[in-house]
Structure formats: C-alpha cells, structure tokens
C-alpha cells in the first residue's frame, strides 16, 4: 500500500468519520430549535471545511461574484465524486438544499438528518413521484426564498458529461428563478468512483452566468436542459483536468 493510501486509511478516514459524527449530532440538536434549516446549513458548511482540511483538498473558486448571497437559484453541477458535496457546501454561501436520492433518506441517522435539514428526496425511477418532488422543490424555493442544488446527470459519472435530465429546468421555470451552471473540476483525482480513499489535491469550482427562466414555459424545459448541459461542458473544458490538476 502506498504512503498516500496508508495516510488515507489511518488518518484521513477516521477524522472524516469523527467530524461527521460530531457535526451531524450538533446539526440534529440545532434542528430542534430551528425548523428553517438555516442553522443546519451553517453547520454543514463547517463540516465541509473540516473534511476538506483533513483530506488536504484545496478549493479554488471562480465566478462567485455572479451569485447574490440572498438570491434564489437552481444550481446545477456535474457529479464525479462523493466529495462534490463538501466542495460545493464549503464554497457557495447561498442558502440551498439538495435534491437527493430517496434511498438516502432510509439510512439511519443520515436520512433523519437530511429530512430535518430540509433536503428533498427524489425518486428518479418513478416518474409520477419525481414530478411531485420537482413541484415541491419549486414550492419550497418560492415559499422560503432559498435555492436548490441538483446534479442533473442523475448520479455520479465518469468520462464525458452525460445528457441532463429535465428536472432542474422544470423546477427553475416553475419557480421563476435563474439556473446557475457550476463546473466541478479535479474531483475524480480526489475521490474516484469505486475508491474508498480520499486523496489530497486541488479542486476548482467554477460558476457560470445565471440563465434566466423569465418568459419560459414548462414546454421549454428540454431545450433549456440541453443549453445548461452545454454551459457546464464549456466551463469544464476551459480547464482540462488532465493538464491542470494533479492529486497530491
């Protein structure tokens, strides 16, 4: 076993588990007094920064000035790694909630925490339930003034960016808020799919121009999804991973 993997097993992994247990318990305690999810979101940001620090992951952000901290958006991003979540949480300061696979909500402790923090389950295998989840997400945006984050490829991917599902476009159009394309670069070096070892390295979070949904109807969602996929692809291609980023 290499020295890097040995460090990941003996130091990084135990610290991640410890930080998750402590911060998760604190978040649950806060949720008893704060039903808005805003307190839990602040704790989640702290948890993310701790995870990145112990994992020796450095995040370089670009384009954050395009986001109004108190604005409401639908954020979309490519999805290469389980470490995508802490990278986004630690970097984007806007209040947002995740659309997460409903199976995660069945996991003891984790599922209860996701529910208490205001994250939304989605069942991609059931079109009727998926539509209901998207409608609820739009309602939450309008009612609470927060944002939603979605990985529109439908799960973690390798290789070329996949086509985007229409859910993000549907939610943004129905809620009447802009969609913000986000590119996550370097993530497959930090925690590749199929690997249990978090490795140090540099990640880039690049924010594109918000895309307005004013004057769009739900019939425009497929066209918008294609445009958003192209926007994220351009953000990724402006810094080729293999040329610019290396794991440490």
- How open is the CA angle 143-40-150, to the nearest 5 degrees? 60
Contact call for residues 179 and 210 (beta carbons, < 8 A) = yes
pLDDT of residue 240: 58
pLDDT score of 242:
47
> What's the chain's Rg over C-alpha atoms?
18
**Residue 135: predicted pLDDT:** 93
Pick the CATH number of 57-244 from 3.30.70.260, 3.40.50.300, 3.10.180.10, 3.40.1130.10: 3.40.1130.10
Q: Where does the pLDDT of residue 57 fall: very low under 50, low under 70, confident under 90, or very high at 90 and above?
A: very high
Q: Tell me how far the alpha carbon of residue 197 is from its chain's centroid.
A: 20
Question: pTM (2 decimals)?
Answer: 0.89
Mean pLDDT to the nearest integer, 210-222: 95
Q: What is the per-residue pLDDT across 111-162, written as a single tens digit (0 to 9) for each? A: 877 888 888 888 877 788 888 999 999 999 999 999 999 999 988 888 789 9
CA 64 to chain centre: 15
pLDDT tens for each residue of 163-172: 999 999 999 9
Q: How far apart are CA 34 and CA 101, in angstroms?
A: 24
Entry field: residues in the chain = 248
E strands, the chain, where? 57-62, 74-77, 96-101, 120-122, 147-150, 179-185, 201-207
- Distance separating alpha carbons of residues 107 and 240, to the nearest angstrom: 36
């Amino acid at each position: 076993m290499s020295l890097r993997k040995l460090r990941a097993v003996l130091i990084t992994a135990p610290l991640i588990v410890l930080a998750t247990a402590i911060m998760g318990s604190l978040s649950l305690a806060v949720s008893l007094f704060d039903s808005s999810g805003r307190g839990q979101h602040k704790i989640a940001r702290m948890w993310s920064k701790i995870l990145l620090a112990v994992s020796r992951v450095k995040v370089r952000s670009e384009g954050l000035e395009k986001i109004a901290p108190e604005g409401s958006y639908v954020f979309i991003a490519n999805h290469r790694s389980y470490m995508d979540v802490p990278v986004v949480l630690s970097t984007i300061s806007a209040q947002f909630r995740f659309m997460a696979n409903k199976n995660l909500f069945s996991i003891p402790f984790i599922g209860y925490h996701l529910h208490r923090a205001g994250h939304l389950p989605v069942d991609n295998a059931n079109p009727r339930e998926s539509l209901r989840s998207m409608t609820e997400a739009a309602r939450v945006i309008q009612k609470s003034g927060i944002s939603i984050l979605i990985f529109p490829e439908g799960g973690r991917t390798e290789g070329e960016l996949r086509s985007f599902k229409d859910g993000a476009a549907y939610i943004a159009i129905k809620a009447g808020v802009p969609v913000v394309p986000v590119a996550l670069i370097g993530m497959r070096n930090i925690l590749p799919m199929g690997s249990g070892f978090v490795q140090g390295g540099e990640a880039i979070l690049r924010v594109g121009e918000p895309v307005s949904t004013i004057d769009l109807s739900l019939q425009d969602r497929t066209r918008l999804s294609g445009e958003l996929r192209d926007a994220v692809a351009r953000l990724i291609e402006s810094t080729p991973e293999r040329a610019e980023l290396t794991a440490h």
